[in-house]
Amino acid sequence: MLFDAHAVTLSPTEQFILDLAIVTVAIASLIFTDSKFKSKNPGLIFTIIIVVAVSGRMLLDPIPNVQPVTFLAIMVGIYFGISYSIAFATIVTLSSNVMLEHGIWSNYQIIGWASVGILAALLRSQFIQNEKLNITNLAIFAAFSGFLFNWIVSLSILHNVDPSFFLIYLLNGVPFDLLHAGGNVAFVAWLANPLSELMNRHTNLTAPKAVPELVSN
């Protein structure tokens, strides 16, 4: 006997709760099962983070401006550095926009998330102190990044409207900037520490050690 699962329709709220549960399970699985892997290959965890970012962005799409990409861009910036941040921003934006919507704004999203990652990489010493993550500094930066990213993406409207309208446009978006900032802080509060441990396991970046002596030829 066959059942047509496609015939089952969920209300937007039911669908959202289901999506949220999927994202939670995915992130929790990643954090709790990752300890089994001993790989020091950053490519593995980088790829997994990209998958989490893309799926998280798509699944949390019903909530305006709350998604994990900005937070993950910050973490990638801190633990992987500038070049990975640019790659992360590009891959995540293009991959998720295939499903969400692709347009000129995609370029600004790439620039926005890459800028956040690059800034995080440059400010790394403010976030990792004594080999521990400074959650307060990270939360403040994450909140700021919500505004920064939205403002950079807002530049895309200058293709259509007069620059004099730009400030009004930015002002109108403040409630949504606040949501983005709040979402980022929530991601930092809940996920920064476990993700930091996970990234530590796969990268050599958090505890740079001086070479004791030069290798002779």
Interface ranges with another protein (CB under 8 A): 63-64, 66, 135, 139, 168, 171-172, 174-176, 178-179, 182-183, 185-186, 188-190
Instruction: Provide, rounded to whole angstroms, the least separation between the CB of residue 100 and another protein.
Output: 20
Instruction: Provide, rounded to whole angstroms, the least separation between the CB of residue 171 and another protein.
Output: 4
Instruction: Provide, rounded to whole angstroms, the least separation between the CB of residue 144 and another protein.
Output: 15
- The smaller minimum CB distance to another protein, of residues 39 and 172, is found at 172
- The smaller minimum CB distance to another protein, of residues 123 and 135, is found at 135
Smallest Cα–Cα separation from 65: which of 165, 168, 153? 153
- The smaller minimum CB distance to another protein, of residues 30 and 188, is found at 188
Q: For 82, what's the count of Cα atoms within 13 Å in the CB-facing half-sphere?
A: 5
Count of CB atoms situated within 10 Å of the CB of 48: 16
* Alpha helix (H) residue ranges in 60-173: 69-80, 82-99, 104-122, 124-127, 135-154, 166-172
- The smaller minimum CB distance to another protein, of residues 139 and 199, is found at 139
Q: Which of 50-65 are b and which e, b meaning 16 or more Cβ less than 10 Å from the residue's Cβ? A: bebbbbbbbbbeeeeb
Instruction: Provide, rounded to whole angstroms, the least separation between the CB of residue 61 and another protein.
Output: 14
Are the CB atoms for 46 and 83 separated by under 8 Å?
no
Instruction: Provide, rounded to whole angstroms, the least separation between the CB of residue 141 and another protein.
Output: 14
Count of CB atoms situated within 10 Å of the CB of 47: 12
The alpha carbons of the chain give a radius of gyration, in whole angstroms, of 19
Determine the Cα–Cα distance for residues 117 and 49; give it in Å rounded to an integer.
14
- The smaller minimum CB distance to another protein, of residues 104 and 174, is found at 174
Count of CB atoms situated within 10 Å of the CB of 131: 8
- The smaller minimum CB distance to another protein, of residues 43 and 64, is found at 64
Instruction: Provide, rounded to whole angstroms, the least separation between the CB of residue 183 and another protein.
Output: 6
